[in-house]
């Protein structure tokens, strides 16, 4: 199993999808990537065609092109024959709802477990988790279930922030995650800061980027995990 899971698509001040590109190229080095299937279902305020075009405008700089799953009548076959599966960010609830309604969630899971590389960012990284319960998104739609691909054993919180803005009286991101763990004490959450990503090769999970990740476990003090180190979760 080969996964590349980004916290975000775009760092502040950069052109869209700049920092992931060299890492996608390195990740796919030596792998067949002629048939990349892109899952655009996290898009809400723009069309799936527009999302596909936006991603391809950037992928072309590293010699790649993706085809949106929405273009296929036989979506199951498209996924099962893909060289790479790529899942974009946006609204995680909308993404999961569409995957259930098009009946492709299990097809993605089985295809990735059989060795097809999976690349996701933000909502696409959430989808790789056991559930989407640690997304930051508003539940604008109701999926059949919160259960996701379960490709990894832990939860990701993308775009993780330490900040508690002055004058803000609501919960911090850490408090929200601690609430999740109180309700789900057997789970582990990785707070993945922007500009960071995880590679998963079989059961080996490694953090990359120029920041640490924050590891949350029930009734344990959070741990700052160093980049380029394997996560033992």
Q: What is the pLDDT of residue 169?
A: 64
Would you say residue 97 has pLDDT above 80?
yes
User: Rounded mean pLDDT of 57-82?
Assistant: 98
Catalytically annotated residue among 70, 94, 125, 137: 137
Would you say residue 108 has pLDDT above 80?
yes
Give yes or no: 137 in active site: yes
Would you say residue 152 has pLDDT above 90?
yes
The distance of Cα 91 from the centroid of its chain, to the nearest Å, equals 11
In eight-state DSSP terms, residue 193 is -
Catalytically annotated residue among 7, 9, 122, 125: 122
pLDDT confidence of 171, banded at 50, 70, 90? Answer: confident
Domain limits at 177?
Answer: 2-231
The distance of Cα 63 from the centroid of its chain, to the nearest Å, equals 22
Collapsing DSSP to helix, strand or coil, 160 comes out as: coil
* Total domains in the fold of the chain: 1
Q: What is the pLDDT of residue 163?
A: 76
pLDDT confidence of 113, banded at 50, 70, 90? Answer: very high
Give yes or no: 227 in active site: no
User: Rounded mean pLDDT of 165-180?
Assistant: 85
Would you say residue 77 has pLDDT above 80?
yes
Give the separation between CA 137 and CA 133, rounded to whole angstroms: 10
Contact criterion met (CB below 8 Å) for 88 and 38: yes
Contact criterion met (CB below 8 Å) for 1 and 151: yes
CATH at 7: 3.40.50.880
Catalytically annotated residue among 23, 159, 208, 225: 159
Contact criterion met (CB below 8 Å) for 79 and 31: no
What residue ranges in the chain does DSSP mark as E strands? 2-6, 36-39, 66-68, 84-87, 118-121, 155-157, 188-191, 196-201, 204-209, 213-217, 223-225, 230-231
pLDDT in tens, 4-59: 999 999 999 999 999 999 999 999 998 999 999 999 999 999 999 999 999 999 99
Collapsing DSSP to helix, strand or coil, 229 comes out as: coil
Q: What is the pLDDT of residue 3?
A: 98
């Amino acid at each position: 199993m080969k996964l590349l899971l980004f916290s975000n698509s775009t760092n502040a001040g950069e052109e869209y999808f700049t920092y992931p590109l060299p890492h996608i190229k390195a990740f796919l080095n030596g792998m067949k990537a002629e048939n990349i299937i892109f899952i655009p279902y996290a898009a809400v305020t723009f069309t799936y065609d527009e999302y596909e075009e936006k991603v391809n405008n950037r992928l072309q700089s590293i010699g790649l092109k993706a085809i949106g799953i929405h273009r296929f009548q036989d979506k199951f076959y498209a996924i099962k024959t893909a060289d790479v599966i790529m899942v974009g960010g946006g609204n995680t609830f909308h993404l999961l709802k569409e995957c259930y309604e098009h009946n492709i969630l299990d097809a993605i899971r089985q295809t990735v477990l059989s060795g097809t590389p999976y690349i996701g960012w933000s909502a696409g990284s959430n989808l790789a988790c056991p559930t989407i319960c640690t997304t930051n998104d508003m539940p604008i739609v109701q999926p059949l279930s919160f259960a996701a691909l379960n490709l990894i054993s832990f939860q990701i919180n993308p775009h993780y922030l330490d900040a508690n803005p002055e004058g803000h009286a609501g919960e911090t991101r850490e408090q929200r995650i601690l609430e999740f763990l109180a309700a789900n004490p057997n789970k582990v959450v990785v707070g993945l800061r922007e500009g960071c990503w995880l590679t998963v090769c079989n059961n080996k999970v490694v953090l990359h980027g120029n920041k640490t990740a924050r590891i949350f476990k029930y009734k344990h003090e959070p741990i700052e995990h160093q980049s380029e180190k394997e996560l033992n979760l």
